[in-house]
Structure 1
Amino acid sequence: MDHTPILANIARYVTLNTEEAAYFTSLLHYKKVKRKQYLLEQGDVDSKIYFVTAGCLRSYAIDKNGGEHVLQFAPPGWWIVDMRSLLTGEPARLNIDAIEETELFFINKPDMDALQLKYPVFERFGRMLSENAMATYQHRQIDNMILSAMERYGNFCTLYPSLIRSLPQKQVASYIGVTPEFLSKMLNTVVIK
């Protein structure tokens, strides 16, 4: 199994020596997921951290009326997890599923905990990844409060350039917080002008 993509991702944050990299990759599990297959369902406890190498995952919540609210997409090179469930052991509020056939690596939480104790560089990596995720989510919350739908769509295009043409409009609309009909009308208005 080629671990190059996940090691390259980690190298953006920290430098691993040969021993650290070998131990880390020995803890990884490879999985191929079919389109619409769940990795996590709301109510289950999340005990894995996923890294996408091909395809795309998404995390989303379902409201009391059955509406989906996309929190994150995870194309190749992205990590995805229900962090609250992972950290607390409480039932997940998110679902994580595959938008298309996806290949990924995952590491189980007990293995990640042991890894961080044995090699503190991974604790630093985890902290940096968590800090970046928190900053991104805060920025998104602020954007949802103060930006127009078109500006939020522009931010989506900047964050996920590889997904602009491949995702169904329904999922893009869910991510930016509008109905699919509104998104279609908004994009058609821009094209006509």
Structure 2
Amino acid sequence: MTEPLKKHIREYINISDENLEKYCSAFNLRKIKKKEFLLKEGDICEFEGFILSGCFKVFHTHHNAAEQILYFGIENWWVSDIDSFINRIPSKLNIQALEDSEILLIPKKDKEKLYAEMPEIERLMRLKFQQSIIALQRRIIDNLSKPSEERYVEFLRDYPKTAHRLTNIQIAAYLGVTPEFISRIRKKIVSKG
């Protein structure tokens, strides 16, 4: 059950077999059905999760009920509301399964304890946070400076394992465009190809 997590961790840090086993044993497996919520807006996020299988969307619901998707998570990705998790405040995000999924969850109290006991785990998460901040920064810059069509093409190029699993509506909510815009772009790409 934890083999994908162990492999993922070893890609980032050197860690003894004993400490790796201790860290991974703090995770609990949860099976999530399609459309089921892992976190709902207003709840406090008590976990960080490592996705074993399936696909999730992390999103905010606008006052007019429109979704604004921050990111999608697939196999070997981490998912959480880091603001709620760290600051113990009600979440402004929802995390929902787009497919039947399996995820390993670590509770906050266990993670904090392991940080104190294993500095290499703290290093792992620092490296993961740095990657997340870089991705977020690049996304903000792209949203401010690139045309929607270019962002769509780059999304398809950068996330091929994710894009084919999503609907036009989901991709549109991620890119901040209408589903009709996505349909027009897809038709334009197909006619060129």
- Aligned runs of 1:137-176 on 2, under 5 Å? 137-176=136-175
Q: Does 2:4 align with 1:5?
A: yes
- Residue 147 of structure 1 deviates from its aligned partner by 0.7
Q: Does 2:25 align with 1:17?
A: no
TM-score (norm 1): 0.96
Count of residue pairs the alignment pairs up: 192
Counterpart in the other structure of 1:76: 75
Contact 2:50 2:76 in 1 (8 A): yes
- Aligned runs of 1:11-90 on 2, under 5 Å? 11-90=10-89
- Residue 164 of structure 1 deviates from its aligned partner by 2.1
TM-score (norm 2): 0.96
Unaligned runs of 5+ in 1: none
Between stretches 30-39 and 157-166, larger displacement belongs to 157-166
- Aligned partners of 1:156 and 1:90: how far apart in 2? 31
Please tell me the residue identity of whatever aligns with 2:68: H
Counterpart in the other structure of 2:109: 110
Counterpart in the other structure of 1:182: 181
Q: Secondary structure at the match of 1:167?
A: coil
Q: Secondary structure at the match of 1:111?
A: helix
- Aligned partners of 1:86 and 1:160: how far apart in 2? 26
- Aligned partners of 1:179 and 1:86: how far apart in 2? 31
Between stretches 133-142 and 161-170, larger displacement belongs to 161-170
Contact 2:5 2:24 in 1 (8 A): no
Aligned sequence identity (%): 32
Counterpart in the other structure of 2:98: 99
Q: Secondary structure at the match of 2:41?
A: coil
- Aligned partners of 1:153 and 1:111: how far apart in 2? 39
Please tell me the residue identity of whatever aligns with 1:69: Q
Q: Secondary structure at the match of 1:141?
A: helix
Please tell me the residue identity of whatever aligns with 1:17: S
Contact 2:59 2:71 in 1 (8 A): yes
Unaligned runs of 5+ in 2: none
